[in-house]
Every structure is written in structure tokens, then in C-alpha cells.
Amino acid sequence: MIYITIDGPAGSGKSSVAFYLAKELGFEHLDTGALYRSAALLWLREGERNFFDELEKVKFELKNGILTMNGKALGDEIRTPEIGKVVSKVAEMPKVREIITHKTRELADKRNVVVEGRDIGTVVLPDACVKIFLIASVEERARRRYAQYLSKGIKLKFEDVVREIESRDRIDSERAVAPLKPASDALMFNTDSLTLNEVVSKLKEIVMEKIKKC
């Protein structure tokens, strides 16, 4: 089975790139940010009481590109500014990382899959065949996130989106367990001033070449 990992900071384009790259390759796509966002949703709904037990019990499934939590497809409810504000704090907890890492490995098992996140190439799937780390400037990333919120009818100040991105970057990179960082064998790819199509077709070329050797 072939694993391709795509890591990078918030708004670096991981989700769209991983989605289209997986489609082009005929692979599954697994967005681990969605798993941490679901954990944050559970945290907001349940509070601290029983949180870890409840999270442990959650059943995630991935079929034909659809990620479900306890049988229900995950949608816009995990992509709100409220979740954006707390998700990195929830993801910082070592116990949360342990549970989600285990669930991610189970979901990826025996599949050709593009898995995206922050620590996939370094911690979750260190033996992956191809590892990519996406980078882009804070302004570019905030612009993309702002457009995503607008397309969902969520109106925010641009400065607030910049602040959300910067705060998540800081917490994600500075946490003690599995911080955001490129694996030593990751390919660094800057997406600034490239269109989504350009990024996907360039990466597809690189990946096709590399997977011959896996």
C-alpha cells in the first residue's frame, strides 16, 4: 500500500491539494485536521467531563472520499470560527494526539491514501513513500482562509483571520508533542503565486516519479 503525506501550516492549501492529488492518482484522501476539528467539537459540546472516554469511543470511517463520525458525514459544523479558535488547544493535549494518531493509522491501514495534517510525515506515518510539506506566506494563507469563510456565508474581519492563522501556527509549531515541522526527508513546496491546478499537476509529476521506487 502506498502512503503519501502532505503536511503544512493552516491555509497552506493542504486540503484542496490533497483532495485533487488523491483524485488524480485514484487514491483515498484523509484529512486529519477534520479528526482534530471533530475532537474540538466534542470538547465544546461535552466539556471536560468524560471527554477522553467519549473521544476514544468515536468511530471514524472513510469510504469513497467521505469521512464520517459515528455514521454521520462531517461537514461545515467543524469548519466554523468557533472551532478554529479552540482546535489547536484541543490538539495540543497529548492524550488527544495519542487517540487521533491511533485512529488515523487505522483509517490509513491497507490503503493507497494521501494523508494530510501537521505531523503525518514525522510521527503518524514516518515510513510513507512520499512526503510533501507545503509552505505559503501568512498573507496568502489568510487570504485563502478568508475566501473559504466568505464562501460559507461567514463574514469576519481580515485581521481576525490573520490572527487566527498566526495563533494556530504558533501553538501548532511550539507544542511539546508532535509539533508542526517538516520531516527530514520531506519535499518542501512553496504554493505562493501558483494556482491550485499548477500545484496539483507539479506534485503529481513528482509523486508519480517517486512511487516507482517505493
Work out whether 33 is an interface residue with ligand C5P (CB under 6 A). yes
User: Are 7 and 182 within 8 A, CB to CB?
Assistant: yes
The residue type of 163 is R
Cell of 73: 458525514
Q: From the CB of 194, what's the least distance to ligand C5P, in Å?
A: 19
CB atoms within 10 A of CB 57: 10
Instruction: Determine phi and psi for 187, rounding to 5 degrees.
Output: -90, 120
Work out whether 182 is an interface residue with ligand C5P (CB under 6 A). no
Work out whether 126 is an interface residue with ligand C5P (CB under 6 A). no
Work out whether 8 is an interface residue with ligand C5P (CB under 6 A). no
Rounded Cα–Cα distance for residues 4 and 198 (Å): 19
Rounded Cα–Cα distance for residues 5 and 155 (Å): 32
Tell me which of 4, 6, 10, 108 binds ligand C5P, using CB under 6 A: 10
Q: From the CB of 120, what's the least distance to ligand C5P, in Å?
A: 6
Tell me which of 4, 30, 91, 142 binds ligand C5P, using CB under 6 A: 91
Closer residue to ligand C5P in complex, CB, 147/208? 147
Cell of 184: 527530514
Tell me which of 38, 88, 122, 191 binds ligand C5P, using CB under 6 A: 88
Classified as helix, coil or strand, 104 is helix
The residues that bridge with 68 in the sheet, in sequence order, are 61, 73
Tell me which of 29, 37, 103, 131 binds ligand C5P, using CB under 6 A: 37
Give the footprint of ligand C5P on this chain (CB under 6 A). Answer: 10, 32-33, 36-37, 87-88, 91, 117-120, 168, 172
